[in-house]
Amino acid sequence: MLRFLLPLFWGWATVLMAQVHDANCKHHLQDLIVWESQAAERQFRFSANPLTQDYDLHYHRLEWQVDPAERYIEGTVTAYFSPQVEDFQQIHFDFSTLMSVVDIRYRGTPLTSYRQLETDVLQIDLPQVLSPDQLDSISIRYEGIPPEDDGFGSFVTSQHGGTPILWTLSQPYGAKNWWPCKQDLSDKIDSIDVLVQTPAAYRVASNGLLVAERDAGLDQKLYHWRHRYPIPAYLIAIAVTDYVTFSDYFVMASGDSLEVQHYVFPEFLDQGQEAFKSTLDLLEMFSDLFGPYPFAEEKYGHAQFGWSGGMEHQTMSFMGSFAFSLQAHELAHQWFGNKVTCASWEDIWLNEGFASYLTALTYEYFNSTNTWRNWRIWTVDDVVEEPGGSVWVDDTTSVSRIFDGRLSYRKGSLLLHMLRWYVGDEAFFQGLRNYLNDPELAFGYARTSDLQRHLEQESGLDLEEFFRDWFYGQGHPSYELNWGRTGTGLSLTIDQNPSHPSVDFIAIHLPILVSGDGVDTLLRLDHRFSGQQFDIDLPFWVSWVTFDPDYWILSAADVVSSTRSPELLARPPGVSPNPFAGELRIEWPAEVYSLDRIDIYDGQGRLVDTQLPQQNPAVFDSSSWPPGLYNLRFWVGTEHLSRQVLKR
């Protein structure tokens, strides 16, 4: 899910426009994290109900009567289930005690032996003992005003343009506020039918396919939605208002057309028709990279609702804006989060790290070079602001730890980026496709070890150390590179300083760009210990060495040096601020040495500016420089020291 607290940019309609907007994407992601952190408090007061773990759900028939002008619901939920234990004679559902049970029927016969426990549990005694795996069903009729104390609202009535609207958003544990359910992360419902009766002035959006729309008498209409894919309770949703609808069609690789169905407020029809054209481009991208849209037998769609963000309800994302990045985020979740869902909050990055990285990949895919580079720059910059922290959630009782934006979201997305570099594009994307299509995981749940296994199988690499260092390990490395020429060869020594004492060394292949004589080559060095020396034969005279020019590695304060001058190494020039945005100040210990020249090169080794310092500190105006990685070369006589800095 994603929430924007910034103004809603309804006009961000096309991929082209999306390519220039990500100067704000950092703020959008931070809003998402704050929202999820606040709303998750109930989640951690809730624990999966052990009383609901003794049966499997197979089907729900969900019949509801609502009026968006009233905060009230009447409904009947029919559940088909099979016991998983011996002597099964009592069934439990998660259900708010503030709602009223009207009637419960078992095989058509009313039951009177049931109770609503203070723990928001509905306990029902069955008239007979059921055998394991015996398919049976029960119907619960209820009514009431759903409670408003859930972080997301769960069941909300409001207005748009003076017209009533009703919508639900149950993530993570709000479903029980408005219907009796089993809300855990272990048992997806195999299939559902959703039937909603509402005043004839309104339309209903929900999961799956709309299979019927008919008059129900007394100026009422009945909408019947059918969904035939496994789904957890929190992804079942309805939205009701005076929607206008339109559809686009995406031609899949099979040749079949997927309907992309949009439910928007009448006052935003023109904007929606233009903006949602981008969804077709995104469907093509994600299908190319990760395989067919997971719910291809039904549809994908958007329903506008009364929030400033979005929620990835299965086959029908609820959208508070038409922003391209919001479209990308919610659509990405249909693969990562809906088709395959994290099985533990320890592994929340399997949902949100993926959604964050896939949104960023749109900039690369649609050839928006600057925004793709900028995303990598600011994401690394943010993660290295603090020295500790792992992507693995080590305390699932802490809301702030689960939803730590620096770790679960941004570092999680960079973990995927580094995995891509480490195993290579072919193995990375094929490994992800294998992960999504694994029969044990598809339309079910996964752990990080499942992703690791598939990437290992596809790449042939042992990733145990990688995940130990980068997923479980805390912090990030800093590198010091010292290079020198050996004939036409290169001698390179690489030191690493981890930012957190819990990890003594973080292993990764390092990208090193070497340039000279008008040519360059990118080296891939397997760095196994600090102080490791590499002697490399090259067919040209090396004049420049750049560390990680394409921003693959999560690291900070890296230094590249081609001198062993004890004065320069002991007291190198100071650079501030770093990262920088405006002026760049360089100061050195004048009592030790004098700087003769300062050269500044961009990440591709092109000279940007040079200065013969007349004062200390020396000041550079960077207003004309694009954001990115820059190399500073400090000259003292014939010796020089290089340092990399970052412009935001």
Chain segment 380-405, per-residue pLDDT in tens: 999 999 999 999 998 877 757 877 88
Q: How many CB atoms lie within 10 A of CB 395?
A: 11
Between residues 177 and 152, the one the model is more confident about: 177
Q: How far apart are the first and last CA of the chain?
A: 27
26-30, 47-51, 54-58, 605-609: which has the minimum mean pLDDT? 26-30
d(CA 260, CA 104): 38
Nearest residue to 567 (alpha-carbon basis) of 588, 592, 586, 594? 592
Give residue for tokens 């029980």. 176
Looking at every residue in the chain, the average pLDDT score rounds to: 89
In a domain, 553, yes or no: yes
In a domain, 296, yes or no: no
Nearest residue to 467 (alpha-carbon basis) of 509, 519, 494, 506? 506
In a domain, 232, yes or no: no
Residue spans of alpha helices (H) in 384-447: 399-402, 412-423, 425-437
CA-based torsion, 115, 121, 125, 126: positive or negative: positive
What is the mean pLDDT of the segment spanning 539-559? 90
| pLDDT at position 366 over 70 | yes
Q: What is the CATH number of the domain that holds 565?
A: 2.60.40.3080
Share of the chain above pLDDT 90, in %: 71
In a domain, 637, yes or no: yes
Nearest residue to 226 (alpha-carbon basis) of 210, 204, 205, 247? 210
Q: How confident is the model at residue 15 (pLDDT cuts 50, 70, 90)?
A: very low
71-80, 371-380, 624-633: which has the minimum mean pLDDT? 624-633
d(CA 610, CA 393): 46
In a domain, 547, yes or no: yes
38-52, 185-199, 306-320, 595-609: which has the minimum mean pLDDT? 38-52
Pairing of strands 257-264, 300-304: parallel
CA-based torsion, 540, 537, 645, 372: positive or negative: positive
What is the mean pLDDT of the segment spanning 604-630? 88
pTM score of the predicted model? 0.84
The structural domain count of the chain equals 1
132-136, 631-635, 636-640: which has the minimum mean pLDDT? 636-640
CB of 619 within 8 A of CB of 634?
no
Which pLDDT belongs to residue 151?
52
| pLDDT at position 174 over 70 | yes
d(CA 277, CA 244): 17
Which range has highest mean pLDDT (250-254, 365-369, 504-508)?
Answer: 250-254
d(CA 303, CA 261): 9
d(CA 70, CA 158): 9
pLDDT in tens, 419-467: 999 999 999 999 999 999 999 999 999 999 999 999 999 999 999 999 9
In a domain, 422, yes or no: no
How many CA within 13 A on the CB side of residue 295?
31
CB of 381 within 8 A of CB of 393?
no
Q: How many CB atoms lie within 10 A of CB 605?
A: 17
**In terms of residue numbers, what domain contains 526?**
477-647
d(CA 184, CA 301): 25
Which pLDDT belongs to residue 47?
53
Which pLDDT belongs to residue 30?
53
In a domain, 514, yes or no: yes
Which range has highest mean pLDDT (22-36, 278-292, 356-370)?
Answer: 278-292
d(CA 640, CA 623): 26
